[in-house]
């Protein structure tokens, strides 16, 4: 195997999906706090007020807030070198626009980071992971209001200054390219409009680019050793056929959904094809004097992304065949791939393709910060959980990562998503499990919340201990 000796093996979570304690310690309400549970065929509903008889799965999460020492000990037992977590913005600034932070929230993350340090685990912190304070959405329209740039920069600066000696690796926004899709208007950008307005959404995304760039520049001033990256949901897509129209349709969609945000955050400028897209669709952005300079001065140090599945694209909807689901965005079924219980197509080889595409385009270090298989796990009578399907998924993807490194790609780390079971962001379910660690909680919020090790826990532990050599010996 070709993994470098300092490769960062680990796992990933998000505060809104695991912390719980939604109204404890001075924390304010976030957008996920207003989202009720859904399911595979049932959309999550966001309510303007918290309904007393409603079930809001993020309110409890998996209670990481009270169990973080137990969980971090389990991560250390697996041998994690790095752990990706997010900070809940509304735990630091309850309404998002305060001048002074909530000390109780800051102190909580101090304790969490100290616990990671005790085990020699490097924190990788996402500053904003779909956790916008609800008050910012309600009072300002989220990032559509330019004032929110300053609110975010104040928040990020507070974190940089507080944790400058405890955190080296940072990400500004999770899956920022979600803003190119209608659903991203609410979940990412904080726009609560009932109907999508593409111009408003892209204006808000412009403000988010500026907020990220300003934070990157300030972070480097506070600690030049900071490594600050971007994070995108990479949605690899293939033409359904070799028909030129299908190839062109795929290329156009890949540019908008995958390349656009990376080009802005890595290259520091708007690409030609998006300027053309805006002109064709009558989208007029307000770009103030100095904005272009801000983007140039705030480019990221490394590029991170989520990768779960791939799909196909066709120019002819009548020939599209079956549709498949996906992370943020589905597509047309690829008959050469198998499909998960939630309709996501499994494509390990596509990960190697994606890594080569990204490194060829950007030539900066890459990290896969989300990857994994959502599946229903069965607890046996003796408490064992035999998740061979998850081990198989990870084995095949890690093998393709190894091949990409052999190709010459500078891949520096890997943090599988939901390394401990958590609330699904898309559906609010617990039954859609990703973890190496099982959490006893069901889709209605019942259970002991006790943790237990799955078979994949022991397998991933060996992979880390051997720096990937475990794969070669199987």
Centre a 10 Å sphere on the Cβ of residue 291 and count the other Cβ atoms it contains.
17
Q: Which of 115, 131, 175, 470 is catalytic?
A: 175
pLDDT (average), residues 42-52? 92
325-348 residue pLDDT tens: 665 566 888 989 998 888 889 999
d(CA 62, CA 19): 6
Query: Is the per-residue pLDDT at 94 higher than 90?
Result: yes
Q: How far apart are CA 361 and CA 356, in angstroms?
A: 9
* Identified catalytic residue from 19, 370, 399, 400: 370
| Confidence grade of residue 11 (pLDDT, cut at 50, 70, 90) | very high
Q: Is the dihedral of CA 63, 42, 55, 446 positive or negative?
A: negative
Instruction: Give the pLDDT score at 323.
Output: 64
Instruction: Characterize the bridge pairing of strands 451-453 and 437-439.
Output: antiparallel
d(CA 325, CA 6): 35
370 is catalytic: yes
Q: How far is the C-alpha of 74 from the C-alpha of 329, rounded, in Å?
A: 33
Axis-axis angle for helices 103-118, 64-78 (nearest 10): 20
* Residue 245, C-beta contacts closer than 8 angstroms, at least 6 positions apart: 315, 316
Q: What are residue 11's DSSP bridge partners?
A: 83
Cα-Cα-Cα-Cα torsion 177, 181, 182, 186, nearest 10 degrees, comes to -20
Q: Provide the pLDDT for residue 431.
A: 95
- Please write the tens of the pLDDT for every residue from 236-276: 999 999 999 999 999 999 999 999 999 999 999 999 999 99
| pLDDT, tens digit (0-9, with 9 covering 90-100), for 135-164 | 999 999 999 999 999 999 999 999 999 999
Average pLDDT, the chain: 95
Q: What is the mean pLDDT of residues 163-188?
A: 97
- pLDDT for 269-321, tens place per residue? 999 999 999 999 999 999 999 999 999 999 999 999 999 999 999 988 665 56
């Amino acid at each position: 195997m070709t993994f470098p000796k300092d490769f960062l093996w680990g796992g990933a979570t998000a505060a809104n999906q695991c912390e719980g304690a939604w109204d404890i310690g001075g924390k304010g309400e976030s957008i996920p706090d207003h989202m009720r549970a859904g399911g595979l065929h049932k959309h999550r509903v966001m309510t303007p007020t918290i309904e007393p008889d409603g079930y809001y799965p993020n309110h409890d999460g998996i209670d990481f807030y009270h169990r973080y020492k137990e969980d971090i000990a389990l991560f250390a037992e697996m041998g994690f070198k790095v752990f990706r977590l997010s900070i809940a913005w509304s735990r630091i600034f309850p309404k998002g626009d305060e001048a002074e932070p909530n000390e109780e929230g800051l102190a909580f993350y101090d304790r969490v980071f100290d616990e990671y340090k005790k085990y020699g685990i490097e924190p990788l912190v996402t500053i904003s992971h779909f956790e916008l304070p609800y008050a910012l959405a309600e009072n300002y329209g989220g990032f559509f209001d330019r004032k929110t740039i300053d609110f975010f920069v104040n928040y990020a600066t507070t974190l940089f200054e507080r944790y400058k000696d405890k955190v080296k690796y940072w990400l500004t926004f999770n899956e920022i390219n979600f803003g190119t899709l209608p659903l991203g208007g609410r979940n990412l950008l904080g726009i609560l409009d009932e109907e999508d307005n593409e111009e408003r959404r892209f204006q808000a995304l412009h403000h988010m680019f500026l907020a990220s760039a300003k934070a990157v520049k300030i972070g480097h001033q506070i600690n030049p050793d900071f490594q600050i990256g971007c994070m995108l949901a990479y949605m690899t897509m293939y033409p359904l056929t070799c028909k030129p129209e299908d190839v062109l349709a795929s290329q156009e969609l890949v540019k908008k959904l995958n390349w656009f945000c990376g080009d802005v955050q890595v290259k520091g400028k708007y690409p030609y094809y998006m300027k053309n897209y805006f002109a064709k669709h009558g989208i007029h952005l307000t770009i103030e004097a100095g904005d272009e300079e801000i983007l140039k001065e705030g480019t990221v140090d490394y590029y991170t992304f989520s990768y779960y599945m791939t799909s196909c694209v066709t120019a002819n909807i009548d020939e599209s065949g079956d549709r498949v689901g996906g992370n943020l965005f589905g597509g047309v079924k690829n008959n050469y791939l198998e499909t998960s219980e939630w309709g996501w197509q499994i494509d390990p080889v596509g990960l190697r393709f994606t890594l080569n595409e990204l490194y060829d385009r950007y030539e900066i270090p890459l990290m896969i910060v989300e990857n994994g298989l959502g599946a229903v796990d069965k607890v046996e009578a003796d408490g064992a959980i035999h998740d061979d399907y998850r081990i198989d998924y990870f084995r095949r993807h890690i093998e393709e990562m190894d091949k990409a490194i052999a190709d010459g790609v500078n891949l520096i780390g890997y943090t599988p998503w939901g390394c401990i079971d958590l609330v699904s962001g898309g559906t609010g379910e617990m039954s859609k499990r990703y973890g190496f660690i099982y959490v006893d909680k069901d889709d209605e919020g019942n259970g002991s919340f006790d943790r237990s090790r799955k078979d994949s826990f022991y397998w991933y532990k060996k992979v880390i201990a051997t720096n990937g050599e475990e794969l070669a010996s199987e």
